[in-house]
Amino acid sequence: MKFSDILRTAIHALRGNWMRSVLTSLGVIIGIAAVIVMVSVGQGTQAEIDKMVAGLGSQRLDISPGAGRGQGGARMSGSSFYTLTEGDVDAIRDEIPEVQYVAGALRGSTQVVYAENNWSTSWQGVQPDFFDINGWTIAEGEAFDAQDYSAAAKGVILGDTVRRELFGEDSGVGQTIRIGRVPFVVTGTLAAKGQGGFGQDQDDVMMVPLQTARRRLLGAMGLPPGAVMQVALTVADADDLGYAQGEVEALLRQRHRIGPGKEDDFSVRNISEIVATRTATTRLMSLLLGAVASISLIVGGIGIMNIMLVSVTERIREIGLRMAVGAGPTDVRRQFLAEAMLLSLIGGALGIVIGIAGALLVARFGDLPVALNGQVIALAAGFSIATGLFFGYYPARKASQLDPIEALRSQ
């Protein structure tokens, strides 16, 4: 038989009981749609997390003071908690050549006022490398110069949200604002970054020189002289990050006179480890979602096999007649395999359409990120074809092995 004859015969057989054909295809439709939606959600989530951790920097270390509790759970004093100093920053810069940028920082929150506009925001007291470490660029105005840092100048650089709340569409550069009770001159504004990976507004911030923050904004916090609340650094080569971390820890233990076996009074966070952990977790989640969705596809394939076996049983006499007029086992096998393939392909096509629509609806109305790509759709189409071939072969083979005489005797 020609391929066109086999196809025409298969279509005629499926149309003869179209409701059963539709219900049989439903399992494949649901399976393919589930694969597309689940895998798209998994890949979208992974892309979102990759974007979030990329903003943290894969060549960066963050150093924070210790846990702030002494032995027996007694809380340490404020002066003993802030164990990092500007001297530590200078030592890291001078003694560890792998470090590209390093900066200490102080931080706090306050009210900022310009004319009748009032806004509550956070401030950062920074050193020069802070902007390079965190990827901040100046949108308008100028960055701080060396004299601003050394003389504790009352200049401030505004994040985009603060600028918008105080000045609307104007830059505000050159204007005088009041931070707490202290007047500051706006020397520049930062380019907008938008929402951070944890949902925070990255632009709701102000930058002042570190010494300015220490003398004019900290108030009565009781920090030791020269203390900083955080130290951040980057290395030029990501391969040096692990080595640099070990060197930093050894240097700080030496400077802080921490003996062997004693607990560190600081903690070092390696961003690249967070990146690797989150990436592995998301990839595993994507595989899990795909596996769960594939179960629906297997169930749909079993449904096709079941219906095709029923069809063989119902059409034993028809098979006997075909063989009696010259059809061989190969022709019979191809006919039933074509019917199974048609069921699978029709279900696959409808499943792809429904899956794409479902993924788009999740992206539009749900809180989950979705990443649709052609590879997922091609994979779904391949699964559809494989389902028809795999689950349709056994019924087709069983039909081709029937004895023509016994088949004609069947009632």
Q: What is the pLDDT of residues 153-208, one digit of tens each?
A: 999 999 999 999 999 999 999 999 999 889 999 999 999 988 765 567 889 999 99
Q: Which two tokens stand for residue 191?
A: 């380019």
Angle at 393 between CA 351 and CA 287, to 5 degrees: 45
**Report for 43-47, 128-132, 239-243, 322-326: range of highest mean pLDDT:** 128-132
User: Average of pLDDT values for 264-280?
Assistant: 76
Least confident of 202-216, 276-290, 331-345: 276-290
140 DSSP β-pair partners: 189
Share of the chain above pLDDT 90, in %: 33
**Cα-trace Rg, the chain:** 34
3-state helix, strand, coil in the chain (%, to 5): 60, 20, 25
AA identity, residue 332? V
Measure Cα distances from 391 to 255, 299, 315, 319, 397 in Å: 70, 10, 19, 20, 11
Quickly count: other Cβ atoms within 10 Å of residue 101's Cβ: 20
Residue 399 has pLDDT above 80, yes or no: no
Q: What is the dihedral of CA 392, 395, 398, 399, to 10 degrees?
A: -100
Q: Which residue has the tokens 């980057």?
A: 234
Q: What is the reported pLDDT for 75?
A: 42
Mean local confidence (pLDDT), 36-60: 72
Percent of the chain with pLDDT over 70: 82
Please give the Cα distance from 262 to 184 (Å, whole number): 44
Tell me how far apart the alpha carbons of residues 249 and 263 are, in angstroms, rounded to a whole number.
12
| pLDDT band, very low/low/confident/very high, at 118 (cuts 50, 70, 90) | very high
pLDDT of residue 407: 60
Question: Cα separation of 87 and 228, whole Å?
Answer: 10
Average pLDDT, the chain: 81
The whole-angstrom separation of Cα 189 and Cα 164 is 10
- The residue extents of the domains of the chain are 3-52+277-409, 67-264
For the chain, the farthest-separated pair of C-alpha atoms sits apart, in whole angstroms, at: 107
Distance from C-alpha of 329 to C-alpha of 122, rounded to nearest angstrom: 80
User: Is 0.85 surpassed by the pTM of this model?
Assistant: no
361 token code pair: 């609806």
Phi-psi region of 88 (alpha: psi -120 to 50; beta: other; left: phi over 0): alpha
How many CB atoms sit inside 10 A of residue 252's CB? Answer: 21
The answer to whether the CB of 40 falls within 8 A of the CB of 359 is: yes
Higher per-residue pLDDT: 87 or 338: 87
As given in the structure block, the two tokens for residue 160 are 């985009």
* Backbone torsions φ then ψ of 234, nearest 5 degrees: -130, 155
- The amino acid sitting at 161 is T
Structure tokens at 256: 């802080």
pLDDT value of residue 90: 95
Angle (deg, nearest 10), helices 329-365 and 271-314: 140
